[in-house]
Amino acid sequence: MSLNDTYVSLSREIAASGARMVAVTKTHSVEVIQSLYDLGHRDFGENRVAELAEKHAALPKDINWHFIGHLQTKKAKNVVPLAHLIHSGDSLKLLRELDKRAGGNSVDVLLQYHIAVEESKYGLTRSTGVELLDDVSRHPLRNVRILGVMGMATYTDDRDLVAEEFRTLHEIYSEVKETYFEDNPMFTEISMGMSGDYRIALDQGSTLVRIGSLLLGERQ
């Protein structure tokens, strides 16, 4: 199946569930990204700051770049001017640094929660998330806007486990929305699901799915 056919099929399927696709283009060429752009796609995901900067400079400026990798605090200043949405807000320290580096511009962020069995994945727990949000409530962020939550499921063939983890993230989203963002119409995003589990994520209410290999093949 051609890139065009694969893209159209995935886009329709994901849109039918009320979600959007972030095309994960890490290690893929500028030419590949331009091909998707020419098909009308605008949401692209990168997980390395240097690679994001190179592609941002080379490609059309109306692309919505999603930073989807772990973000070190020391690199926050480099991502702020480039990213449409940062999916990996996993600590209060990082949010404060992004806020400081924003230069008066809005920086949109998702809170990353650890929902997987694997300990290697980053993210907040329910309790550390409450601590972070309580601190933000007492000392509001001036430029950072928290728009939702993100999480990655365990890398496994156990579909029931993956579905349970995605349900957990949806529950966290609902709890955070009710407690901290009930009157904020911008808090709407649940970023979960990748090439291997996006259908399960859509069933559990994902609004953003990150699709790489299923769309573009294995990384270059």
Q: Quickly tell me which residue has 């963002």 as its tokens.
A: 181
What angle is formed at CA 5 by the lines to CA 4 and CA 10, rounded to 5 degrees? 100
Q: Which of 117, 120, 113, 61 is closest to 91 using CA atoms?
A: 113
pLDDT tens track for 110-147: 999 999 998 877 899 999 999 999 999 999 999 999 99
What is the tally of structural domains in the chain? 1
- Backbone φ and ψ for 158, nearest 5 degrees, come out as -80, 95
pLDDT of the residue at 156: 95
* Range from 31-40, 61-70, 120-129 carrying the lowest mean pLDDT: 120-129
User: Rounded to whole angstroms, how far apart are CA atoms 15 and 128?
Assistant: 33
Token duo for residue 194: 């990748």
Please spell the DSSP secondary structure of 80-128, one letter per residue. TTT-SEEEEE--HHHHHHHHHHTTTS-EEEEEEE--SS-TTS--B-HHH
User: Rounded to whole angstroms, how far apart are CA atoms 99 and 172?
Assistant: 24
pLDDT of the residue at 182: 97
At residue 219 the predicted structure's pLDDT band, cuts being 50, 70 and 90, is low
Q: What percent of the chain has pLDDT over 90?
A: 94
pLDDT tens track for 12-30: 999 999 999 999 999 999 9
Residue 193 near residue 202 (C-beta atoms within 8 A): yes
Residue 220 has pLDDT above 70, yes or no: no
Q: 184 is in which domain, residue-wise?
A: 3-216
Q: CATH no. for residue 164?
A: 3.20.20.10
**pTM score of the predicted model:** 0.96
Token duo for residue 12: 């329709």
Residue 218 has pLDDT above 90, yes or no: no
pLDDT of the residue at 23: 98
Average pLDDT over residues 26-48: 97
Average pLDDT over residues 188-213: 98
pLDDT of the residue at 119: 82
Residue 208 near residue 191 (C-beta atoms within 8 A): yes
At residue 205 the predicted structure's pLDDT band, cuts being 50, 70 and 90, is very high
pLDDT tens track for 51-63: 999 999 999 999 9
Residue 19 near residue 30 (C-beta atoms within 8 A): no
Q: Quickly tell me which residue has 């601590």 as its tokens.
A: 131
pLDDT of the residue at 100: 97
